[in-house]
């Protein structure tokens, strides 16, 4: 604060409706554009909420459909997930250990690679998800998974929109600054100086 002036006072003088005689027309346009972009970002908040809600609904429906098309059965692990000699465990796309297992569905024996929790051992019985044909399938998303996915979608949308508005303002400011330099160059040359002189 200088001389009793607050930050809010200084911002108010930069508003497009300010009576500050030192503000150029382009300054008012840039100030107006900043206000518009702030309004756009604020409008993105409820839209991001709608995106999150739609994502949660879609993920929930997918999880319910997956659960309806599958079933849980016991499976016996045929090997240890962690190879001997202290090597790194075999990790699947889910970040869990993967190991070959055997399970039975409607009297038919199946074998395949399944995801297991850390520390599983050969001979251990675990519960796995299989489809209607008895083939192994990934477990349906939980309610927590769906909620996290929805939050991530909403925040991602809001972040992209905010970054886009920020980049637009940066580009707009650059164009105005370039226009100011060109205008000042013309005025400087109009004073009778050598044409080779430039204003940086």
Report pLDDT digits (tens) over 113-169. 888 877 778 888 999 999 989 999 988 999 999 999 999 999 999 999 999 999 998
Across all residues in the chain, what is the average pLDDT?
80
- Is 126 found in the same domain as 88? yes
pLDDT at 29: 76
In a domain, 21, yes or no: no
Between 43-47, 76-80, 84-88, the lowest mean confidence (pLDDT) is in 84-88
- Is 77 found in the same domain as 95? yes
In a domain, 200, yes or no: no
Residues 6+ apart with CB under 8 A from 170: none
**pTM for the complete prediction?**
0.65
Q: Specify whether the CB–CB gap between 163 and 27 falls below 8 A.
A: no
In a domain, 7, yes or no: no
pLDDT at 175: 84
Domain that holds residue 119: 70-131
- Is 96 found in the same domain as 124? yes
103 has pLDDT over 70: yes
Cα-based torsion angle of the residue sequence 124, 127, 132, 136 in order, rounded to the nearest 10 degrees: -60
In a domain, 79, yes or no: yes
Report pLDDT digits (tens) over 83-97. 433 445 455 445 577
In a domain, 139, yes or no: no
Highest mean pLDDT among 33-37, 50-54, 81-85, 182-186: 50-54
Among residues 108, 131, 154, the one where a domain terminates is 131
pLDDT at 1: 46
Q: How far apart are CA 179 and CA 73, in angstroms?
A: 71
- How many domains, the chain? 2
- Is 91 found in the same domain as 49? no
- Is 171 found in the same domain as 76? no
DSSP 164-198: HHHHHHHHHHHHHHHHHHHHHHHHHHHTT--TT--
In a domain, 9, yes or no: no
What is the residue whose two structure tokens read 């002189």?
A: 197
Instruction: Specify burial of residue 120 (Cβ count, 10 A radius: 0-12, 13-18, 19+).
Output: buried
pLDDT-based confidence at 47, cuts 50/70/90?
A: very high
- Is 127 found in the same domain as 79? yes
Q: Specify whether the CB–CB gap between 101 and 114 falls below 8 A.
A: yes
3 φ/ψ sector (left φ>0, alpha ψ -120 to 50, else beta): left
- Is 57 found in the same domain as 74? no
Report pLDDT digits (tens) over 51-77. 999 999 999 999 999 999 999 999 999
- Is 79 found in the same domain as 45? no
Q: How far apart are CA 88 and CA 65, in angstroms?
A: 35
76: three-class secondary structure by DSSP: strand
pLDDT at 60: 96
173 has pLDDT over 60: yes
Please compute the mean of the pLDDT values over residues 104-118 and round it to a whole number.
88
């Amino acid at each position: 604060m200088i001389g009793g002036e607050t930050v809010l006072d200084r911002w108010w003088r930069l508003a497009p409706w300010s009576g500050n005689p030192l503000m150029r027309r382009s300054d008012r346009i840039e100030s107006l554009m900043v206000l518009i972009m702030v309004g756009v970002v604020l409008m993105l908040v409820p839209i991001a909420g709608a995106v999150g809600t739609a994502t949660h609904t879609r993920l929930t429906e997918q999880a319910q459909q997956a659960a309806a098309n599958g079933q849980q059965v016991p499976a016996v692990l045929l090997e240890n997930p962690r190879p001997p000699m202290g090597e790194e465990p075999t990790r699947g796309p889910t970040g869990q250990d993967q190991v070959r297992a055997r399970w039975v569905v409607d009297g038919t024996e199946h074998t395949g690679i399944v995801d297991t929790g850390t520390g599983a051992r050969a001979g251990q019985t675990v519960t796995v998800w299989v489809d209607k044909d008895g083939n192994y399938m990934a477990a349906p998303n939980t309610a927590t998974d769906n909620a996290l996915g929805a939050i991530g979608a909403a925040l991602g949308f809001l972040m992209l929109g905010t970054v886009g508005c920020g980049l637009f303002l940066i580009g707009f400011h650059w164009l105005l600054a370039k226009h100011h330099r060109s205008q000042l160059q013309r005025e400087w040359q109009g004073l009778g100086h050598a044409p080779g002189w430039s204003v940086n």
